[in-house]
Amino acid sequence: MDGDDDLDEVVVDSTVRHRIEVEAADVGGRLDAVIAARIAELSRAAVQRLIEDGHVRVGGVVAVKAGAKLRRRDVIEVDVPPPGVLEVVAEDIPLTVLFEDAELIVIDKPAGLVVHPAAGHTRGTLVNALLFHCKDLSGIGGVLRPGIVHRLDKDTSGVMVATKSDRAHAALTAAFAAKSRGEGGGIDRAYLAIAAPPPAGTGGTLRTLYGRHPVHRKKFSSKVASGKGAVTHWEKIEALHGAALIRLRLETGRTHQIRVHAADHGWPLLGDPVYGVRQRDERVAAAADALGRQALHAALLAFDHPVTGARLSFEAPIPADLQAALAALR
């Protein structure tokens, strides 16, 4: 979901278990290097500590050497134990609340706000803000991600939902997981983006395989020989100077899906620091520099209430920085 967690991980008793299938590009590579490349939040040093502590298995056998060479069809399992000594503190960070009841809270996340803490970055996140706003949130969903059932990239703005009870957390986690796989589940999400250069045509559907980039292992690609399916529906809303305003609806929810699909089809998002391109048109380049982030906004989120079953739908207005980019290109 754009930015949502890839579902090659599960949570078992607060331990996050990652499952990695060795691909052709990984064969002959070091165990620690391949794991660090495939799990973005783990440094190579952190992976080596996990190996030393017996938390990594290859083919079901506990790994003992960080430099072990990998073979085709090896399956790696990495258990990341909960950071029991890490305390995530509540912080009085302003939130724009779109809806709240005893079970959940829906917010309009600003660009620049990280969703949940990670090692070395435990302050100033959405979770810190939620812990301050929702006094009973602690413990729902784990130490570092209380209440979190999906996420947006740091520099993507827009609608997010977090849960305030265990029953809501279980129900919405299952719904988002089903959506990520392209199944039913009641989740509907739409995004607005500025693509530069603009796509040809007025709309369509991007239906591809999806997986790790064969060379840049911390990036994703839709140009892979094998992988999961990814489907994005798009519609051109407005023609701009050297760009276009696009509305996108996700049928599946792969990590960075919108950004990758747009870039791989020749119309990367304006200002995208990972998948974007250098803009040669001075006016477009100036708009990208002023924006300072990928031009992506989660405009709509709809789902069934996890307890009452009522259909809920929320929209977040286009934020000021994207409004300025649009104005500069009209």
The helix-helix angle for 31-38 and 44-52 (nearest 10°) equals 120
Burial class (CB in 10 A: 0-12, 13-18, 19+), 62: exposed
DSSP state of 90: P
Burial class (CB in 10 A: 0-12, 13-18, 19+), 328: middle
Q: How far is the C-alpha of 324 from the C-alpha of 306, rounded, in Å?
A: 37
The answer to whether residues 207 and 263 touch, using CB atoms and an 8 Å cutoff, is no
Q: 2, 6, 153, 155: which one is catalytic?
A: 153
Q: 53: Cβ–Cβ under 8 A, 6 or more apart, which residues?
A: none
Q: How far is the C-alpha of 330 from the C-alpha of 201, rounded, in Å?
A: 19
Tell me if residue 153 is catalytic.
yes
Give one DSSP letter per residue of 206-246, joined into a string.
Answer: EEEEEEE-SSSTTSEES--SS-EEEEEEEEEEEEETTEEEE
Q: How far is the C-alpha of 259 from the C-alpha of 116, rounded, in Å?
A: 21
Catalytic residue ranges: 153
